[in-house]
Structure 1
C-alpha cells in the first residue's frame, strides 16, 4: 500500500533534527566544508604513515590523465618495474599506453559487432541488447583483456608511439566511436532481420571495421609495424636496437609468459563459492583471445598471495573500488578516514557482499601494489603506485590500510608459482559463466 509523506511527518522530522545535540554546529561545518572534509578523522591519517617493511623501488609514477586506461597503465607498469633495472632504462621510461589503447579500441569494435550479430534476434528492449547499446565500448578493461592484446599485438616503447590528444583526454574519441558503433548496430540488425545472407553481413562488418581503423589511425596515429629503439640508459650509455617489431620487442625486453599470470578475486557473495572460477558473458575485447577468468578466494588467502609475490620482489596488479574512504591529497585509502556515521548519527554500514549485491560497490580502478608493512607477519598497510601523476598523493603513491583492502579490493593478479597446488587445480577448472552485468565484470 502506497502512502505519501504528510506535512505532519515533515514537522516531526524537522523537530527531531533540531533537538539533536550539535545540530547547528554540524550544519554550519558541513554546509561550509562539505561532507568528507567535515567527517575526516586526522588520527586515521596519522595511523597510516607511508612506511613499509617491504618496499619495492619502482621509480616515477605514470599519468593516465583524462582517460580511463588505469588497467593498461597498471599492467604496463608492472612489466616496466621488472625490466627497468635489468636494461638500466632511465627513470622516465614507459611502455606505450597509446599503442595498447589503439588496438583495444579496434578489437572492442569487432567484439561489439559480434555480440550485436549474436543478439540480432532479440528485441531492443531485451536486457542483453540494452546492456550492449548502453555503452558499446569504453576505456576500461580487465587484466585478461590486456593479456589478449599483448599476446596478439606485442608492445612498444612510448618513445616510438607517444601519447595523442585523444588518448590523454578520451571523451571526444569515445563519444564519436560509440556514435558509430550504435549506427552500425542499426545496420547489422536491419540486415540480419531483413534476411541478409551471412556473406552480406560479414561484408558489411568488414567495411565497418575498415572505417573504425581509419578513424583510430587518424585520431591516435598509425601504429608501428617495425621500428628502431634508441635510448640512453641511466648511466648515460647510448643504445640502438634496430628492426624490431612490437612482438620481438616484447619477447626481448619483457619476455613474460603471460599464461602464468592469473586473476584472483575476492567476492564474498552467495552466488560465487570460494575456490571456483568464473567468467562473464559478453566480457572481453579480442575475439579468439584470452577469456576473462577469475578464481574466487577468501580474503586472507587473497592477501597471502599478494604478500608472496611482493616478497619475491615483483609488484602486483590489483583492482579496487576507488571511491569510498579515500583521501586524494593525502594519498590514503583507509576505513575510518571519513566518519560520516558519527557526523550524521546515521548507520551507513554494509558488508562487502551486500555492497556488491545491491549495487553500492564494484571494481572501478586498477593500480599496482609495490609494498606492504608486515607486523608479526601480518599486513597492516600496503603501498600503492597509482597512475594519476606525481601531484596527487605522496608523489603519486598511496597508502592503503589493510582493513580498506578487505572491504574494497576485489582483484589481484598473481603468478601461478605463488599459488598452492589446490588453487592451481581450481583455476584450471571450467568456469561458471556470470551474467554480463555481474559486478565481477566491471571494467577498471
Structure 2
C-alpha cells in the first residue's frame, strides 16, 4: 500500500510542472506582444508553428522515452535531465536579450518556445507514467491522481497570481515580474526534485518487450478499449477548452468585469482544490465511471447558467465559478485513473500511450480555440465594442456549446459502461 509520504513525494512535482505550463501555453503570446512589440499576425504565425511542432513531436517524445527506458535509463533520470534543460529554456524564453531587434526576437521566441515544449513534454510524460507504474489497483490510482492534480492546481493558482503579486509588492513591470517568476520556477523544481522526488521508488521492469516504433504504435492502434476512451477524452478536451478560449471575451464584454477575471479564475481553481479529496472518496465507493458521469452532469447543470448572466448580475459569476469548480476535480482525476487501469501492464510502452493521449488532448485544445474564434468572427463579434452585432453569441459559445458536448461525453461513457469496456 502506498503511504501518504510516498504520495506527497511523488505528487508535489506536479506543482512546478503546472506552474510552468500556464505561462508557456496561455501567457506567452501576450507577453511578447506587449513587452517586445511583436506584430500580432506574425506572433500568431510563430505560435501556430511552435504548437504544431509541439503537437507532432508528442508521440515521438513518448517513443524516445520508451526507448530510453528499454535501454534501462530510469525515468527519474529522464525527468531530472529534462527538468534542467526545461529550466534553462524557460528562463531564456521569458528573458530574451534586450539588444535584439524584432526579427531576432521572433527567432528567439520560436527556438526557446519549441525547446521549452520539448523538455516539458519529456518531463510530464515520464512523470505521468510513473503514476501508472507505482499504483497497483484502482484505489491507489485514484489516490495518486488526486494528490497529483491537487498540487497541479496549486501550481496553476501560483502561476496565475504571482505576476500580479510581484507587481504589487516589489513594484515591478511585467517584464521584471516574469524574470522573477522564471527564477522562482527554477528554484521550485530543483527543490522538489532534490528534496522530495528523489525518494520516490519505482519498481523496475523485469522483462522488456520487443521495441520498435512500428510495433509500439501498431499496438496502440489495435488497442480498441484504449482508442474508445481516447475518443471520449478528445471530445471532453474540446468541451473543457472552449470556455478556456472564450472566458476573456465573456468577462470583458458580457459581464463587463475584466478587472475581476483573476478573482473569478481563483475561485474556480480554489474550489477544484477543495473538492479533489471528495471526488476520490466518491469514486472509491461508487466507481470511477459512475463518479465521472455524475460530475459531468453536475458541471452541465451549473455551467449552463452562464448564458443567463450579464453586466447587471456579474457577481453571480463567482457562484457559478465555485459551483463548476466543485466538479473540476472529477474531470481531472478520473481520465488518468481510467488510462492507468487500461495501460498498467504495458511496461516501457506506457510513455508512448500517455504521449498519444496528451497529443489528442492538445489537439482538442487547438480545435476548440480555433473553432470558437472562427464562430465569433462569423457573427461579427468585435472585442471591447459596445456596438457589437456578435455579442449575443458569446454566452452560447462559452456555456451552451460546451454543455452540449459534455452531454455527448456522458452518452458515450454510458455506452461503454453497458458494453463493460472497462
Common fold, TM-score beyond 0.5? no
Structure with higher Rg: it is 1
| TM-score normalised by L of structure 2 | 0.28
From the two aligned structures, give the one with the greater strand fraction.
Answer: 1
